[in-house]
A and B are shown apart, each in its own frame.
Chain A
C-alpha cells in the first residue's frame, strides 16, 4: 500500500489516557486482530471533490431511514382489519378504517415526535433515491464506471432498483386513499400481463383487489427482505470501492497509478462523519417544518373516491408518466385473448431503458476494446458522445417524469391537459435527439476551447497597441499545473474494420466499427508535448 516511509510518530512518554487507550486497543486486537484492518485502511487515501460526496448523501440518508424506520415499527401495525378511529384527528373520528391507517394516524397525532419521525422517514426516502440518482449521473458523466468498476456500477444500479422498491412498498403501508389508488394502478398494470397477469395480482393481494393482505405482505418486504438485500448489496458496493479505490480527476501529480487526497484517519473520517450529522440535521430541519404525505387529508382507502393530482412519489413518476403518454385505443384481441398494448408498451420500454443504464459500461468497453484500468475520472466534455448519450437519457427520463405531473403543469401554467400531453409525446422522441446533438456539439466546442487555452493561454482582456499601429489582445498563459488539467485525457480513434485471424469480417465487428465511428468520428485530440513546445517558442 505504501511506497515511501511514513513519518514516524514522535516518541513521548505515554500519559495515563494513552496507557488506557493502549490497554483497550490491546484487549480488542488480541481477540480480533483488528490492528491489521486499521493498518490497511486507517490511512487509505480519499480524493477530495464535491461530486465524490453524493454517494455519501445516499448512504447517510439510508442510515437516517433505518433509524427513523425502526422507531416507526414500534408503533405501526400493518393490519388491514377494520376499526373505528378513536384518535384525536377530528375530521376522521368514528370513521371505519384499517388498523394500519389508524396506527399511522396515531403516530402522527397522538405520539410525541411521531409526526417528526414519519416526516423524517419519508423525506429521507425521497433524498435517498434522489442522491442515488445524482450519484449515478456523476459516475456516468465522468466515466467512473470503466474498468475495473463495471461490476460496482451494476451493484449500484441494483441498489437504485432496490431503493425504488423500498420506496414503493413503504408508500403503500399507511393504507390511505393515495397509496390505495397507487396499488390499484399496480393491480391494473399487473392484470395486463399476458397469461399470468390476473394470477399474479390475485396472489399478490391474497384474493381480489384490495383484499386484506397486501399491507402486511408489503410490510414484510419493506422492513425485512428488501432492507436485508439492500444492506448486503451496499456492503458489496463499499467493499469494491475499497478494493478499487476511488477515482480522481486529472490534476498535477495525479496519475492513473496513484491516489492523491486526504487520509481516512483523521481528516476524511472527520469530514465524512461530520457530513453524516449534517445530512441528518438537514433532514431533521425539513421534517420539522415541511409537511410530507399528509395522510390525514387523504382519508382511509376506499375504491370509490380519488383525489385530483393523484401521483406517485417522484422516483416512480417516470413509470406513471410513461403510462400517461400512451395514445388512446391501444388494445387488440387475438383469438379471444386481450393484449393491452397501452400498458405492455410502457411496461416493455421502461425495462429496456433501465437495462441500457445497467449495461452501458460493457457497451462502451466493447466499442473501445480498451482493456486498461481507468482511475482518472473524465471531464464530461472529453467524452462527447458518452456525455451526449447521457444527456439524451436524462431528457428521456425527464419527459416521462414531467408527464407524471401533466395535470399540475396544466393548472400551474394555464394550459390544457391535452396540449401538455401531446407536447410531451412529441418531446419524448424529439427531446433526446436534440439533447444528444446539442450536447455533443457543446462538448466538442469546449474541448476546442480547452485546446486553445492550453496552447495560447486565455484572453486577458488587455488590449495593446503595437508600434506598427496594430491592436492585439494579450493572451496570458495558464500556469503549468492548471494547464495539465486541460491536457490529461484519453483519446480514442474510430475502429478500422479489419478481417480477423480467419480472414473474416464478422457481423459483430461491423456493428462495433459502426458504433465506434459514431462515437469517435469527431474528436479533439489532447495537446501533445511537441505542440506545447512549439507554442511556447512563439
Chain B
C-alpha cells in the first residue's frame, strides 16, 4: 500500500497485470494515499521546534513590553487590563502567553469563534520576552518545568485521567471534536508537551482550567505520557482513518470497500473480447 509500510514489499505488486483486477487495487491505493497523505500532513504541520528557557532579566521584560505594545495592546490594552476586544492579561502568567503566542493562536488574525492554531508569529526568544513581561505584571501560572514534559510517567493513569477529563472534547485518541457555535476542541496530535501542559493549567479560550489541585503536575505529566505514547507508537491496526471512529469507518467501507467490489462486479459481468 503506501511505500512506508513494510508489508508492501511482500505481495502488492505481484498480481499486477494490465487487466481489470487492478481496478480494485487502484481504488484501494488511491484511498491509501489519500489517508496516508492527510496523516503525514497533519503530523508535519504540527511539528515545531524545542523551546529554550533563558534566565529572566529586566532587559527581556523590557523587550517583551515593546513587543506587547506593538502587537497586543490594541486588543488587550496598553496596561494589559483588557478592552472590549480582548480579556485582561493581569495574572494569566507566563504559561498562558507561551501557549497562546507559542502555538500561533495570538495574535488573532481576525475575529472568529475561537483563535486557531497557526504558524507562530514570533521567535522563541520573543515569545519568552512577551511571557516574562506579562508574568511581571502579576503572578500567575509559570511555564512548566522540564521534568513534567518528558513523557515518562504512568501512561495508564494518564489514559484514565485523559478519558475522564479531556476525551469528551478532544476525543479518546486526541483527534479533536466539535463544541457549540462553531467552536471546536483542536487535535492534540503533534502538540508540544509544554503546550499541552500550559493548556491544562491556564484553560485557554473555552477550555476549562485544570489547576494543580485538580490535576497535580504528576497527573499532567501522565496525561502527556499517554498522548505521546499513542502518537509515537504505530497504530497496531494499520491506517487510523483520522481516529474519527465509526463515521470514518462507515464511509471508508461504502466508498472504498463496496466501491472496489462494485468495480469488480462490472469487470466480472462484462463480456470478454
Known: A271-B268, A289-B239, A408-B178. A307 touches B250 (CB 8 A): no
Within 8 Å of chain A (Cβ to Cβ): is B191? no
Task: Find out whether the CB atom of B257 lies under 8 angstroms from the CB atom of A286.
Answer: yes
CA distance A407 to B240 in the complex (A): 19
15 A–B pairs (Cβ distance < 8 Å), ordered by A: A91-B159, A91-B226, A95-B160, A127-B258, A134-B258, A178-B246, A289-B238, A290-B238, A292-B249, A297-B173, A297-B230, A305-B168, A407-B177, A408-B178, A417-B182
Known: A91-B230, A307-B245. A115 touches B236 (CB 8 A): yes
Task: Find out whether the CB atom of B249 lies under 8 angstroms from the CB atom of A308.
Answer: no
Within 8 Å of chain B (Cβ to Cβ): is A525? no
Binding site for A on B (CB under 8 A): 1, 5, 7, 24, 28, 32, 113, 155-156, 158-160, 163-164, 167-173, 175-182, 184-185, 226, 229-230, 235-241, 243-247, 249-254, 256-258, 260-262, 264-266, 268-270
Please name the residue on chain A nearest to B165 by beta carbon: A305
Within 8 Å of chain B (Cβ to Cβ): is A177? yes
Task: Find out whether the CB atom of B170 lies under 8 angstroms from the CB atom of A308.
Answer: yes
How far is the CB of B254 from the nearest CB of chain A, in Å?
Answer: 5
Given contacts A126-B257, A134-B262, A411-B184, 4 further A-B contacts (CB under 8 A): A50-B262, A53-B268, A271-B268, A288-B238
Q: Which of A52, A123, A271, A305 has the most CB of B within 10 A?
A: A305
Task: Find out whether the CB atom of B245 lies under 8 angstroms from the CB atom of A127.
Answer: no
Within 8 Å of chain B (Cβ to Cβ): is A48? yes
Task: Find out whether the CB atom of B160 lies under 8 angstroms from the CB atom of A299.
Answer: yes
Task: Find out whether the CB atom of B254 lies under 8 angstroms from the CB atom of A314.
Answer: yes
Binding site for B on A (CB under 8 A): 48-54, 57, 90-95, 108-109, 115, 119, 123, 126-127, 130-131, 134, 177-178, 271, 274-275, 278-279, 282-283, 285-286, 288-294, 296-299, 302, 304-315, 317, 404-405, 407-408, 410-411, 414-419
Contacts of B172 in A (CB 8 A): 177, 297-299, 307
| Option from A91, A108, A314 in Cβ contact (under 8 Å) with B250 | A314
Task: Find out whether the CB atom of B229 lies under 8 angstroms from the CB atom of A48.
Answer: no
Contacts of A309 in B (CB 8 A): 171, 175, 177, 244-245, 247
Please name the residue on chain A nearest to B186 by beta carbon: A411
Please name the residue on chain B nearest to A51 by beta carbon: B265
Contacts of A312 in B (CB 8 A): 246
How far is the CB of A262 from the nearest CB of chain B, in Å?
Answer: 10
Contacts of B258 in A (CB 8 A): 57, 127, 130-131, 134
Q: Which of A123, A282, A290 has the most CB of B within 10 A?
A: A290
Contacts of B250 in A (CB 8 A): 126, 130, 313-315, 317
By DSSP majority rule, is chain A's interface helix, strand, loop, or mixed?
helix
Contacts of A298 in B (CB 8 A): 172
| Option from A286, A302, A314 in Cβ contact (under 8 Å) with B247 | A314
CA distance A306 to B164 in the complex (A): 7
Task: Find out whether the CB atom of B253 lies under 8 angstroms from the CB atom of A275.
Answer: no
CA distance A74 to B257 in the complex (A): 27
CA distance A94 to B179 in the complex (A): 33
CA distance A288 to B176 in the complex (A): 26
Contacts of A306 in B (CB 8 A): 167-168
| Option from A50, A93, A285, A304 in Cβ contact (under 8 Å) with B266 | A50
Task: Find out whether the CB atom of B178 lies under 8 angstroms from the CB atom of A407.
Answer: yes
Q: Which of A271, A297, A299, A314 has the most CB of B within 10 A?
A: A297
Task: Find out whether the CB atom of B176 lies under 8 angstroms from the CB atom of A290.
Answer: no
How far is the CB of B76 from the nearest CB of chain A, in Å?
Answer: 26
Contacts of A57 in B (CB 8 A): 258, 261, 265
Q: Which of A95, A134, A177, A310 has the most CB of B within 10 A?
A: A310
Task: Find out whether the CB atom of B241 lies under 8 angstroms from the CB atom of A290.
Answer: yes
Contacts of B167 in A (CB 8 A): 305-308
How far is the CB of A91 from the nearest CB of chain B, in Å?
Answer: 4
Please name the residue on chain B nearest to A182 by beta carbon: B246
| Option from A91, A131, A416 in Cβ contact (under 8 Å) with B182 | A416
How far is the CB of B240 from the nearest CB of chain A, in Å?
Answer: 5
CA distance A130 to B255 in the complex (A): 10
Contacts of A282 in B (CB 8 A): 24, 28, 257, 260-261, 264
How far is the CB of B223 from the nearest CB of chain A, in Å?
Answer: 11
| Option from A49, A91, A308, A405 in Cβ contact (under 8 Å) with B171 | A308
CA distance A278 to B23 in the complex (A): 12
Task: Find out whether the CB atom of B253 lies under 8 angstroms from the CB atom of A307.
Answer: no
Contacts of A311 in B (CB 8 A): 245-247
Please name the residue on chain B nearest to A128 by beta carbon: B253
Task: Find out whether the CB atom of B254 lies under 8 angstroms from the CB atom of A130.
Answer: yes
Contacts of A292 in B (CB 8 A): 237, 249
How far is the CB of B63 from the nearest CB of chain A, in Å?
Answer: 36
How far is the CB of A105 from the nearest CB of chain B, in Å?
Answer: 11
Please name the residue on chain B nearest to A279 by beta carbon: B261
| Option from B156, B241, B252 in Cβ contact (under 8 Å) with A92 | B156
Contacts of A317 in B (CB 8 A): 246-247, 250
Task: Find out whether the CB atom of A91 lies under 8 angstroms from the CB atom of B7.
Answer: no
CA distance A134 to B257 in the complex (A): 13
Known: A279-B261, A307-B167. A49 touches B269 (CB 8 A): yes
CA distance A94 to B222 in the complex (A): 15
Contacts of B260 in A (CB 8 A): 282
Task: Find out whether the CB atom of B156 lies under 8 angstroms from the CB atom of A275.
Answer: no
CA distance A317 to B32 in the complex (A): 25
How far is the CB of A411 from the nearest CB of chain B, in Å?
Answer: 5
How far is the CB of B174 from the nearest CB of chain A, in Å?
Answer: 9
Contacts of B256 in A (CB 8 A): 286
CA distance A131 to B253 in the complex (A): 10
How far is the CB of A67 from the nearest CB of chain B, in Å?
Answer: 17
Contacts of B185 in A (CB 8 A): 308
Please name the residue on chain A nearest to B32 by beta carbon: A289
Contacts of A411 in B (CB 8 A): 176-178, 184
